[in-house]
Structure 1
Amino acid sequence: MKKGMLSMVTIILYILFAIGTVIMLWMVYNHIEGKIALYFGMAYVFLTLFLIVYVPIVTIFNSRKLKWVDIKKRLFKFFILFIVFGALNYVFDYIFRSSNVDLFRNFSIALGLAFGISFIDITLKKKEVE
């Protein structure tokens, strides 16, 4: 692939996901039913599952071009953010829903947020880093 082609595909997938999310929220809010809504919902779920796999792979692929010092800084930032978001999520769940604390939910949200904040610019990188 060309240098900028992978990032262009990623941007297009992000735009499709954002548009699909808005349409799905509108369909659920207005109780839209039918075959078209079902097929659109299935396509949206498949796009979401594809992005869950695609984004980490592209991030790893693009991070190979970085220097080891930069990767260490990003990993340190990722671990710190993961711990902070996980702890905050747990504390807020304990305060507001003390009878129903779900650690898997709390730490999966923290994992996604920390990964997104730490590595989003690597995912959308267009040119090679020397």
Structure 2
Amino acid sequence: MKKSILPMLTKSLYILFAIGTIILLWMVYNHIDGKMALHFGIAYVFLTLFLIVYVPIVTIFSLRKFKWSYVEKRLYKFFISFIVFGTLNYAFDYIFRSSSINLFRNLSIALGLAFGNSFSDIILKKKEI
């Protein structure tokens, strides 16, 4: 049985990101400062930026392993979720903060939520569907 290293690497990066987030939140809550805290914060920012680039690229390459009908269903779910999240975000901003509606912010939040909702499990799967 051939094991794929990509799902293990992705799980490790997710775990490292979760642990880093907990540590960074603890450091901010306790007002810890110094050179070590600064270096940890910079490393955390680089890990976050790496994950922002890594996850979509690996998802796109992992989608090639699946049948087109399965990918088509996922893409349909993505577009519908994007429209729903974008509309809801815009509507709530219009109701609660009508003076400062930021369309770019609303669309980026909708894009992230729709992508996570539709493709979050793709990079962790090992076999074709």
TM range (shorter): over 0.9
Counterpart amino acid of 2:51?
Answer: L
Counterpart amino acid of 1:109?
Answer: I
Task: Tell me the residue number matched to 2:33.
Answer: 33
Task: Tell me the residue number matched to 2:56.
Answer: 56
Task: Tell me the residue number matched to 1:125.
Answer: 125
Counterpart amino acid of 2:116?
Answer: G
| Distance (whole Å) between structure 2 residues aligned to residue 26 and residue 102 of structure 1 | 31
2:32 aligns to what SS in structure 1?
A: coil
Q: In the comparison of the two structures, how many residue pairs are matched?
A: 128
> Which runs of at least 4 in structure 1 moved beyond 3 Å after TM superposition?
none
Deviation at 1:4, TM superposition (A): 2.2
Task: Tell me the residue number matched to 2:100.
Answer: 100
Q: CA RMSD in A?
A: 1.2
Relative contact order higher in (CA < 8 Å, ≥ 6 apart)? 1
Counterpart amino acid of 2:75?
Answer: L
Uncovered stretches (5+) of structure 1, i.e. residues with no partner: none
| Distance (whole Å) between structure 2 residues aligned to residue 68 and residue 3 of structure 1 | 24
Task: Tell me the residue number matched to 1:6.
Answer: 6
How does the TM-score come out when normalised to structure 1? 0.93
**Which deviations, in whole Å up to 9, do the C-alpha atoms of 1:14-71 show, x marking residues without a partner?**
0111111111112222221111110000000000000011001111111101111111
Counterpart amino acid of 2:70?
Answer: D
Task: Tell me the residue number matched to 1:89.
Answer: 89
Task: Tell me the residue number matched to 1:17.
Answer: 17
Counterpart amino acid of 1:51?
Answer: L
Uncovered stretches (5+) of structure 2, i.e. residues with no partner: none
Aligned-pair identity (%): 75
Counterpart amino acid of 2:93?
Answer: D
